[in-house]
């Protein structure tokens, strides 16, 4: 579905082009439901509500939420008594958790007014001794200048291709936190045979049309161990391509999966977390190339993908 913004600030919906939406999917009783806004809205209203739906799907991913909360508990000694920030706080779930873990002050930074109002309502329902230590800041994180030194910054800026959402924001902060949670991640690849996925619909001819196209959620199930990192991000170092070569690998499909890490330890990953799908493409070479650039406002980063032939 193609959502394009005209000069008169209207959103035009066209069925002629596939477009990546921020909203994602909702997993209910084993079924995956896609959430899309179907009626006409102004561009600004669409972006605000699309962000809301994105956070609904994020929080519905209970494994991802549980993994983040475990990470925060493991870092409780760092959080306790510290100045903390949740960047892009959404509904403020982890800001509240850090206050419960004993943070001296938590800045919950959120630029979306709908999400900010819902976060404020969440904080207002907390006991006074917790809510009094949380301050909601309605700004983009890259414009936030905290009045004091920040000890801990928590974020959820990973995309299915690692850098295709908002990780770039962390490379352009106006402050330098002591700790960023999580502080790293990789996009890992594996080569497989399409034979096990082919049927009357997904034919070899259909798969052949995917040359140069990255498709999320094309096939269900675990693709096996994705061993080869092709992209790596580390706070303070930014994004880098990882040298790789598929020459010794057998198969005509490549599967990509996100792995979120903190201090070198896996926090969560695609497949395990329902909000991040595996990404598939037809193998058309032995080395992949990725370039990211800023997309339209509110739409994260655009990925340019090529096979290095």
Please write the tens of the pLDDT for every residue from 235-274.
Answer: 999 999 999 999 999 999 999 999 999 999 999 999 888 8
Nearest C-alpha neighbor of 85 from the set 131, 132, 148, 130: 148
**Is residue 7 predicted with pLDDT exceeding 60?**
no
- Whole-number pLDDT of residue 273: 87
pLDDT band at 71 (very low <50, low <70, confident <90, very high): very high
- Whole-model pTM? 0.84
Contacts of 67 (CB under 8 A, 6+ apart): 260, 267, 268, 273
pLDDT tens, position by position, 72-124: 999 999 999 999 999 999 999 999 999 999 999 999 999 999 999 999 999 99
Mean pLDDT over 129-135 rounds to 98
**DSSP letter (8 states) at residue 142:** G
Nearest C-alpha neighbor of 265 from the set 208, 181, 190, 203: 181
The answer to which of 49-53, 165-169, 289-293 has the lowest mean pLDDT is 49-53
pLDDT band at 50 (very low <50, low <70, confident <90, very high): confident
Measured distance between the N- and C-terminal CA atoms of the chain, rounded to whole angstroms: 31
- Whole-number pLDDT of residue 43: 87
pLDDT band at 221 (very low <50, low <70, confident <90, very high): confident
Rounded to the nearest 10 degrees, the angle between the axes of helix 113-124 and helix 93-100 is: 30
pLDDT tens, position by position, 239-248: 999 999 999 9
pLDDT more than 70, % of the chain: 88
Query: What distance in Å separates the CA atoms of residue 261 and residue 183, rounded to the nearest whole number?
Result: 7
- Whole-number pLDDT of residue 198: 87
Nearest C-alpha neighbor of 46 from the set 17, 19, 86: 19
pLDDT band at 302 (very low <50, low <70, confident <90, very high): very high
- Whole-number pLDDT of residue 242: 97
Domain 62-156 bears CATH identifier 3.20.10.10: no
Measured at the alpha carbon of residue 266, what is the angle toward residues 110 and 231, in degrees to the nearest 5? 80
- Whole-number pLDDT of residue 58: 77
pLDDT band at 299 (very low <50, low <70, confident <90, very high): low
- Whole-number pLDDT of residue 5: 34
- Whole-number pLDDT of residue 34: 62
């Amino acid at each position: 579905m193609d959502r394009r913004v005209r000069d008169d600030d209207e959103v035009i919906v066209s069925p002629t082009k596939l477009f990546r939406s921020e909203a994602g999917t909702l997993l209910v009783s084993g079924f995956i439901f896609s959430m899309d806004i179907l009626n006409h809205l102004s561009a600004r209203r669409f972006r605000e509500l699309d962000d809301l739906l994105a956070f609904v799907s994020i929080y519905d991913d209970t494994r991802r939420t549980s993994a983040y909360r475990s990470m925060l508990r493991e870092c409780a000694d760092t959080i306790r008594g510290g100045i903390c920030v949740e960047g892009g706080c959404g509904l403020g779930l982890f800001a509240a958790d850090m206050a419960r873990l004993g943070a001296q002050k938590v800045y919950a930074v959120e630029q979306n007014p709908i999400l900010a109002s819902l976060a404020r309502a969440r904080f207002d329902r907390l006991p006074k001794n917790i809510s009094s230590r949380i301050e909601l800041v309605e700004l983009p994180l890259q414009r936030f200048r905290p009045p004091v030194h920040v000890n801990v910054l928590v974020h959820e800026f990973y995309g299915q291709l690692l850098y295709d959402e908002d990780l770039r924001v962390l490379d352009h902060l106006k402050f330098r936190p002591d700790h960023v949670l999580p502080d790293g991640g990789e996009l890992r690849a594996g080569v497989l045979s399409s034979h096990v996925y082919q049927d009357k619909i997904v034919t070899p001819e259909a798969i052949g049309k995917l040359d140069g196209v990255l498709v999320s959620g094309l096939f269900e199930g675990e693709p096996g161990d994705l061993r080869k990192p092709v992209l790596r991000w580390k706070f303070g170092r930014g994004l880098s391509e990882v040298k790789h070569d598929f020459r010794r690998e057998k198969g005509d499909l490549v599967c990509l999966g996100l792995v979120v890490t903190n201090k070198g330890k896996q926090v969560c990953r695609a497949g395990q977390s329902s909000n991040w799908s595996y990404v598939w493409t037809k193998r058309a070479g032995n080395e992949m190339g990725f370039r990211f650039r800023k997309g339209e406002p509110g739409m994260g980063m655009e990925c340019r993908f090529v096979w290095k032939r």
